[in-house]
Amino acid sequence: MTLKEVCKILKNKNNIEILTHSSPDGDTFGCGFALCLALQSMGKNARVVVEKLPSKFEFLTKGVKEQDFQGEFVVSVDIAALSLLGSNAEKYKDIIDLCIDHHGSNSIEIQDKYVDAQAAAACEIIYQIILELGVKITKEIANCLYTGISTDTGCFRFSNTTAQTHRIAADLMETGCDFEIINKNMFETKSKARVELEKNLYDTMEYFAEGKGAIICISLDMLERLNINNDDIEGIESIPRLIEGVVLGITMKEKEKNSYKISVRTNDGINASKFCEKFGGGGHTAAAGCKLSGEYETVKEKLIKSAEEFI
Amino acid sequence: MTLKEVCKILKNKNNIEILTHSSPDGDTFGCGFALCLALQSMGKNARVVVEKLPSKFEFLTKGVKEQDFQGEFVVSVDIAALSLLGSNAEKYKDIIDLCIDHHGSNSIEIQDKYVDAQAAAACEIIYQIILELGVKITKEIANCLYTGISTDTGCFRFSNTTAQTHRIAADLMETGCDFEIINKNMFETKSKARVELEKNLYDTMEYFAEGKGAIICISLDMLERLNINNDDIEGIESIPRLIEGVVLGITMKEKEKNSYKISVRTNDGINASKFCEKFGGGGHTAAAGCKLSGEYETVKEKLIKSAEEFI
CB < 8 Å to A159, chain B = 180
- How close are the terminal C-alpha atoms of chain B, in Å? 48
pLDDT at B188: 84
Across-strand partners of B288? B264, B283
How far is residue B292's CA from residue A6's CA, in Å, rounded to a whole number?
64
Query: Residue A104: how many CB atoms within 10 A of its CB?
Result: 10
In this structure, are A81 and A162 located in the same domain?
yes
CB < 8 Å to B163, chain A = 170-171, 173-174
In this structure, are B163 and B55 located in the same domain?
yes
Q: Are A250 and A214 in contact (CB under 8 A)?
A: yes
In this structure, are B83 and B122 located in the same domain?
yes
CB contact under 8 A, A170 and B174: no
CB contact under 8 A, B192 and A207: yes
CB < 8 Å to A164, chain B = 170
In this structure, are B240 and B178 located in the same domain?
no
In this structure, are A207 and A123 located in the same domain?
no
| The domain boundary residue, chosen from B187, B213, B232 | B187
pLDDT at A229: 84
A71-A74-A76-A77 Cα dihedral, nearest 10 degrees: -70
Q: Largest Cα–Cα distance in chain A?
A: 66
Number of domains in chain A: 2
Band (A269; pLDDT cuts 50, 70, 90): confident
Q: Are B43 and B34 in contact (CB under 8 A)?
A: no
How far is residue A17's CA from residue A72's CA, in Å, rounded to a whole number?
8
The CA angle B228-B195-B239, to the nearest 5 degrees, is: 90
Q: What are φ and ψ of residue A281, in 5° steps?
A: -110, -155
CB < 8 Å to B153, chain A = none
pLDDT at B235: 84
Comparing B284 with A21, the larger pLDDT belongs to A21
CB contact under 8 A, A190 and B242: yes
Q: Is A257 on the interface with B (CB under 8 A)?
A: no
pLDDT at A303: 97
pLDDT at A189: 86
Shortest CA distance from A196: residue in chain B? B202
Query: A164 vs chain B: nearest CA distance in angstroms?
Result: 7
In this structure, are A34 and A127 located in the same domain?
yes
**Structure confidence by residue, pLDDT tens digits, A37-63:** 999 999 999 999 999 998 889 999 999
CB contact under 8 A, B180 and A158: yes
Band (A284; pLDDT cuts 50, 70, 90): confident
CB contact under 8 A, B245 and A163: no
Task: Tell me the H-state helices in chain B.
Answer: 3-12, 26-41, 89-92, 122-132, 139-152, 163-173, 179-183, 192-204, 220-226, 230-233, 272-277, 296-310
Task: Using alpha carbons, list the distances in angstroms from residue A72 to A16, A67, A84, A97, B28.
Answer: 6, 13, 22, 9, 58
pLDDT at A23: 87
Positions of chain B with pLDDT under 50: none
Strand order in the sheet with B16-19: B46-49, B16-19, B73-77, B98-101, B113-115
Q: Exposed, middle or buried, A87 (CB in 10 Å: 0-12/13-18/19+)?
A: exposed
In this structure, are A179 and A239 located in the same domain?
no
The CATH number for A68's domain is 3.90.1640.10
pLDDT at A49: 98
List, as one string, the DSSP characters of chain A: --HHHHHHHHHH--SEEEE--SS--HHHHHHHHHHHHHHHHTT--EEEE-S---GGGGGGGTT---------EEEEES--SGGGGGGGHHHHTT---EEEE--TT-----SSEEE-TT-SSHHHHHHHHHHHTT----HHHHHHHHHHHHHHTTTTTSTT--HHHHHHHHHHHTTT--HHHHHIIIII-B-HHHHHHHHHHHHH-EEETTTTEEEEEE-HHHHHHHT--HHHHTTGGGTGGGBTT-SEEEEEEEEETTEEEEEEEE-TT--HHHHHHTTT-EE-SSEEEEEEES-HHHHHHHHHHHHHHH-
pLDDT at B234: 84
How far is residue B300's CA from residue B8's CA, in Å, rounded to a whole number?
58
pLDDT at A286: 87
Query: B68 vs chain A: nearest CA distance in angstroms?
Result: 34
Q: How far is CA A235 from the centre of its chain?
A: 11
How far is residue A205's CA from residue B182's CA, in Å, rounded to a whole number?
26
Interface test with A, best of B118, B185, B244, B265 (most A CBs within 10 A): B244
> Chain A neighbours among B 183-222 (CB < 8 Å)?
183-184, 187-192, 195-196, 198-199, 202-203, 205, 207, 211
| The domain boundary residue, chosen from B172, B187, B202 | B187
Q: What domain range is A150 assigned to?
A: 3-187
CB contact under 8 A, A157 and B183: yes
β-strands A206-208, A213-218 pairing: antiparallel
**Structure confidence by residue, pLDDT tens digits, A241-261:** 989 999 999 999 999 999 999
pLDDT at B269: 85
In this structure, are B59 and B204 located in the same domain?
no
Q: Largest Cα–Cα distance in chain B?
A: 66
Three-state SS for A109-128 is CCCCEEECCCCCCHHHHHHH
Number of alpha carbons in the 13 Å side-chain half-sphere of residue A213: 20
| The domain boundary residue, chosen from A149, A170, A187 | A187
The CATH number for A221's domain is 3.10.310.30
Query: B5 vs chain A: nearest CA distance in angstroms?
Result: 28
Arithmetic mean of pLDDT over chain A: 95
Interface test with A, best of B157, B174, B238 (most A CBs within 10 A): B157
CB contact under 8 A, A174 and B195: no
CB contact under 8 A, A179 and B171: no
Where does residue A248 fall: left (phi above 0), alpha (psi -120 to 50 degrees), or beta otherwise? beta
> Chain A neighbours among B 87-146 (CB < 8 Å)?
none
In this structure, are B181 and B199 located in the same domain?
no
Q: Exposed, middle or buried, B282 (CB in 10 Å: 0-12/13-18/19+)?
A: middle
Nearest by CB to residue B242, choosing from A179, A188, A198, is: A188
In this structure, are A132 and A243 located in the same domain?
no
In this structure, are B225 and B252 located in the same domain?
yes
pLDDT at A235: 84
In this structure, are A115 and A165 located in the same domain?
yes
> Chain A neighbours among B 135-174 (CB < 8 Å)?
155-159, 161-167, 169-171, 173-174
How far is residue A251's CA from residue A235's CA, in Å, rounded to a whole number?
11
Query: B196 vs chain A: nearest CA distance in angstroms?
Result: 8
